[in-house]
Amino acid sequence: MSMGKEPGYLKINFVVSLMLKALIATSCTCKVSAETLPRERINSRGLPPSELESLTFTDNKTASDNIIISQAPNPPDIPNPLTPTPPPPQPIPAPQPLPETPLDTTPPTPPSSESSPDVSESITVKKFEFEGNTAFSDETLSKRTAEYTNRPITFSELLQVEAVITKLYVDAGYINSGALITAGQELSPEGAIVKVQIVEGGVEEIKITGTRRLNPNYIRSRIKRSTSKPLNRDRLLKALQLLQLNPLIERLSAEVSAGSRPEQSVVEVRVVEADSFRTELFVDNGRAPSVGSFRRGIRISEGNVFGIGDGFAATYTNTDGSNALDLSYSVPVNSRNGSINIAGGFTDTTVIEPPFDRIDITGDSFYIEAGFRQPIIQTPSQELALGLSFSRQQSQTEIDGEGFPISAGADRNGETRVSALRFVQEYTQRSQRQVFALRSQFSLGVGLFDATINNDPPDSRFFSWRGQGQYIRLLAPDTLLLFRSDLQFSSKSLVPLEQIGLGGLRSVRGYRQDELLVDNGFFASAEVRFPILRVQEVNGVLQIVPFVDFGVGWNSSDTRSLDDNTLISVGLGLQWQMNDTLTARIDYGIPLINADLRDNDRTLQEKGFYFSVNYSPF
């Protein structure tokens, strides 16, 4: 071997030697090859998470230099330094009634004709002809006025036609619309054809008062969509209720008053802005033990940076072996709450888990994503939204300061680069008793921007689908039934950045964080929260939470199959919640199968205990 290749050769032998020593010291018995051993995943974006799996250690310099760790007898489970940064715990949206938005309306002044049609003492109307109507068809209006046709009617009965049509409009919510019989018509006593002018009202001005930092046009544009002619009270009320759900608005009320003409109105909206700045402090043990399971972090967010409803958030998390920073910015681009979203972040990690902490195994990763999200259906009770984004993820692992491949698909320098297009569909339905949410994501990996391209999978070229669901049912005051599920399918083997992980704080409790990292997987969880103590003085409630979790995973390649691919656990938790200020929870999970996967009890997580505390001082 040439001298230029000797350092890589010595490094590999050094790693193999340490691994074998660690194997002897820990008496580890592996059931699968190193190529199929699960690894902690990488994710610094939140939902949906990306994962990182194991692979063989190879040096691709020459064929003679290739040394595969799985050739060593019973290799130990070598932790990958790149581990996920789970999102901070978020409060589960509780079922709630639709907001009651006060809407006062001034009784409409029906349009009236300046003069009366020329009629004799009585006439017989053959039919009515309607002009200017869009809310109701001619057929509907004809049916409502049928009793006034084909019989002799008096002049006062003829004028009743105006009142009948006006009442039809007002009862349907068209509060400033009506009808009038066109003046100056010459009507024959027999077989008269009477023209009826329909005046459909609108809004001449929208006044916004009470705003401080929020641009009034942000509110005005969202109300304007609901005030198109003909003005409808119910449509306006739904728009106001939708605004009431906006986190930037504490409360609002509206009044519809007469405008400069009978068919024109003025809408005045009084707004009380909510505090758009929020700080959250959190701790939990949801990280992988290889980089330190105890996580602490802070999240700072501002929902109205420049007064146009644009939001910015920064999250920093830290463990004994990792640091992560995530940034995001979202700006609305239309009155239907369409938004452009940009996110990015980085993570650097060091393996601190014995005995591998003696090896300088480090990793770093970053991601950037830009996308557009547009609600298609948006009402106070449901929302259907579509989103399209492009993401770029890159990671690198190192040993003793030099790049080294530790994950499947990585190049000789330990780098993995993924470029992907993602199409997202989201649906949420909420009522006073329940919340139901679905999320679907199609991911298409592409070879753009120097993405990882290998002769064989995995690499940046892939196709996968991920679906997630959540159902919350209010059984009684402070008593909730909660179902969660997560499912992923892939067309072929995936790089670790795109895999799904099973096990841990927000997955199958009772097992190590990301115990299984696979191409395809299914997770389901059910729990019930029963109140056992209420403290009215601080608006706090203590709940006991029995739960059951299930997960199963498999790989798309037969060469990466798993012997133990199913996780099932039951457990019990306690949760204390005080308004939106403090949420603290502790869980204990008991594995029902493959319990030997939890033979290491160095941390609370590996003993089956999980905790999280989320505090928002302001």
pLDDT at 109: 57
**List of residues 6+ apart from 32 with CB closer than 8 A:** 562, 563
Strands (E), 149-259: 152-154, 178-181, 192-199, 202-209, 249-258
Provide the H-helix boundaries in 104-197.
138-144, 155-171
Spacing of C-alpha 231 from chain mean position: 33
DSSP states along 41-90:
---SS-SSP-----------S-GGG---GGGSSS---PPPS----PPPP-
Q: Set out the domains of the chain in order of their start, with CATH numbers.
A: 63-86+286-615 (2.40.160.50), 90-285 (3.10.20.310)
Q: Averaged in consecutive runs of 10 residues, what is the pLDDT profile of the chain (618 residues)?
A: 42 48 40 32 33 32 33 47 56 66 65 54 87 93 91 87 94 92 79 90 95 95 93 94 94 91 92 95 93 94 97 96 96 97 95 88 94 96 97 92 86 92 97 95 94 89 96 95 96 89 92 90 97 94 98 82 85 95 96 75 88 93
Q: Is the peptide bond before 531 cis (omega within 30 degrees of 0)?
A: no
3-state percent breakdown (helix, strand, coil) of the chain, nearest 5: 15, 45, 40
Cβ atoms of 237 and 99 within 8 Å: the answer is no
User: What is the β-pairing status of strands 249-258 and 277-284?
Assistant: unpaired
Task: Judge residue 302's burial from the number of C-beta atoms within 10 Å of its C-beta, 0-12 exposed, 13-18 middle, 19 or more buried.
Answer: middle
Cβ atoms of 317 and 12 within 8 Å: the answer is no
CA–CA dist 139, 148 (Å, integer): 15
Q: Which amino acid appears at position 576 of this protein?
A: W
Write out 304-331 in H/E/C secondary structure: CCCCCCCEEEEEEEEECCEEEEEEEEEE
Task: Judge residue 165's burial from the number of C-beta atoms within 10 Å of its C-beta, 0-12 exposed, 13-18 middle, 19 or more buried.
Answer: buried
pLDDT at 270: 95
Residue 448 φ/ψ, nearest 5 degrees: -85, 155
Residue with tokens 């995936």: 494
Q: Which of 558, 407, 557, 419 is nearest to 496 (CA)?
A: 407
CA–CA dist 516, 36 (Å, integer): 10
Cβ atoms of 467 and 443 within 8 Å: the answer is no
Cβ atoms of 39 and 353 within 8 Å: the answer is no
Residue 232 DSSP symbol: -
Cβ atoms of 359 and 399 within 8 Å: the answer is yes
Q: Which two tokens stand for residue 318?
A: 């830290």
CA–CA dist 240, 103 (Å, integer): 9
Q: Which of 305, 369, 268, 353 is nearest to 44 (CA)?
A: 369
pLDDT at 357: 86
Cβ atoms of 511 and 593 within 8 Å: the answer is no
Count CB-CB contacts under 10 A for residue 419: 20
Cβ atoms of 496 and 516 within 8 Å: the answer is no
pLDDT at 120: 55
Q: Which of 429, 413, 340 is nearest to 61 (CA)?
A: 413
CA–CA dist 15, 120 (Å, integer): 110
Report pLDDT digits (tens) over 384-426: 999 999 999 999 999 988 888 888 888 888 999 999 999 999 9
CA–CA dist 292, 349 (Å, integer): 10
Cβ atoms of 408 and 452 within 8 Å: the answer is no
Spacing of C-alpha 81 from chain mean position: 28
Q: Which two tokens stand for residue 553?
A: 């995973």
